[in-house]
Structure 1
């Protein structure tokens, strides 16, 4: 990254199963790249293995000065395009990137349940690693979970948080 410029975060869409490769190639090009990965256990016929899979399939995040570094990103093998509206790439707020980093650091929160918050209500987290995170509560069967929707990339993530830490918004 060139010093003195005003870099912003963007999401790029990449070829199927190229997320890790694109992330590595961007780092080799000295671009600030972020790929949120979650550890999962995969079952093969003869063994189980822990692997890291992208939180969002097909997406890699990069912090660049669009005017001076966008070509460097687009020339990276596996990169298809910037995510955005029309020809305008969507800027992703640093706050959203920090939330994604928190989600990756707190993977257990993606599996616990939330109770006592009405379905469809918008809430804000008051404390803990997800402080100030806002989302909507959704129900799946008997479980309730907070869904955080990232408008810039049109993707949502389910997060579980103790209802005691949630404030219902109007």
Structure 2
């Protein structure tokens, strides 16, 4: 085998609601290389204020395998997993760009918590990853000293400026 048949790639796995930890544990037990970036979030709905560890991509994690060598179909039958993300329903898994996953891994500390995705230049395209604007793309307009980003989103033939915390966005 040569070329693509020898290459391990990263693939996205959709997990059941709030089952990231159990899916990771079970995939690790089966010998798969896994990655799930986390973020620290402040919860202020109760007293005292708590800092909790939440998945950076809620409902998803990443697994690395060789499509031609490894027994990847068993991933879909793993406790905590909903399904591998595929090109079309029931088709082959869709690989993630290696550079995206490598950048995420490099941005994590030893506990796999995202620390920083580096400097994002004004005018860069931003993807919202949390909240009501999740998965929308926009343009970075400004950043304040509290890591609040002002992003220009295009919605329904108009533009909307929103302010979001740094942890709610990634560079697209």
In which range does the TM-score fall when normalised by the shorter chain?
A: 0.5 to 0.7
Contiguous gaps of at least 5 residues in structure 1: 122-134, 146-155, 160-170
Work out whether 1:85 is the aligned partner of 2:87: yes
Counterparts in 2 of 1:45 and 1:6: CA distance versus 1, 3 Å: same
TM score, norm. by length of structure 1: 0.60
Match of 1:73 among 71, 75, 78: 75
Aligned counterparts, 1:6-45, within 5 A: 6-45=7-46
Q: Which residue of 2 aligns with 1:98?
A: 102
Check conservation: 1:13, 1:80, Cα contact below 8 A. Answer: yes
Check conservation: 1:74, 1:81, Cα contact below 8 A. Answer: yes
Check conservation: 1:9, 1:94, Cα contact below 8 A. Answer: yes
Partner secondary structure for residue 25 of structure 2: helix
How far does residue 54 in structure 1 lie from its aligned partner after superposition?
A: 0.7
Partner secondary structure for residue 30 of structure 1: coil
Partner secondary structure for residue 89 of structure 1: coil
Q: What is the count of residue pairs matched by the alignment? A: 132
TM score, norm. by length of structure 2: 0.60
Aligned counterparts, 1:134-145, within 5 A: 137-139=139-141, 143-144=149-150
Contiguous gaps of at least 5 residues in structure 2: 127-136, 152-167
How far does residue 16 in structure 1 lie from its aligned partner after superposition?
A: 1.0
CA–CA distance in structure 2, aligned partners of residues 37 and 13 of structure 1: 15
1:90-135 deviation per Cα after TM superposition (whole angstroms, max 9, x unaligned): 111221111112333485647x9967x44769xxxxxxxxxxxxx9
Alpha-carbon RMSD across the aligned residues, in angstroms, is 3.7
Counterparts in 2 of 1:120 and 1:97: CA distance versus 1, 3 Å: closer
Check conservation: 2:32, 2:63, Cα contact below 8 A. Answer: yes
